[in-house]
Structure 1
Amino acid sequence: MPTGRVRWFDANKGYGFIATDQGKDVFLPAAALPQGTTTLRKGTKVEFSVIDGHKGPQAMGVKPIAAGPSLVKATRPKPDDMAAIVEDLIQLLDKAGNDLRRHHYPSPADSKKLATVMRALADDFDVQE
């Protein structure tokens, strides 16, 4: 059974590609994923069968062998840095809360800054093992 690594997979599109150990790309449809699996992380080592699809080789019966590396986990800030970021976020939220108590939403610039910081911080905390 051939093996390879997931080059990319987009659950919204319902497909991706596997780079085989022989260096060829194989189409990866969502239907080929194991039951209960909706996505595969880039770099995940997989074992699969190959059939000839109407546009070239296509993977079927995909079985993950080893999880791919977590880019988020590898680039996660140090705890001391995260503490400073959390404290800054608390100050931004406190300012936004005070504005809301006065029946005013924060300015568009402050709202955008707050939303950006919260999304980035959420990504740093949400590391998939």
Structure 2
Amino acid sequence: MKISQSNTQADSKYIREQLIAYNRGKLPKELLTDKETINFNVYNDMNKMVAGLTSTMFWGRVHVDFLWVDEKVRHQGYGSELLQKIEAYARDKNCTMIHLDTFSFQAPNFYLKNGYEIFGKIEDSPKGYDQYFLSKKLK
């Protein structure tokens, strides 16, 4: 046996596929749905995207990968509307929770105001900032 460094897409894909196969063998059948990407976007009158949310649904839950709102239209409710859209979508698909992460220089208070709860925190990472992990149970 030997350990070697590899930065190829093929190796990354193989490792990912092996872990997914292992996980599928451990989970109950009702959780074994295909991974789905769900995005919602906000466009202005000139059809320019000014906000968007990307997410991934798997195992009966949704992970918000990215939520971005252009600085020119912040504090107008678009971020909350995007969260409401993904929450409604997740409920329709019988998901039980949504989770995400954010940094102290981003928007932890925004997510708290939208009903998310902090379940984890990494302090001083990156240096001088904290990373928060939040979730919201869906009913």
TM-score normalized by the length of structure 2? 0.21
Max Rg structure = 1
Bigger relative contact order, structure 1 or 2 (CA pairs below 8 A, ≥6 apart) = 1
TM-score normalized by the length of structure 1? 0.22
More helix by share: 1
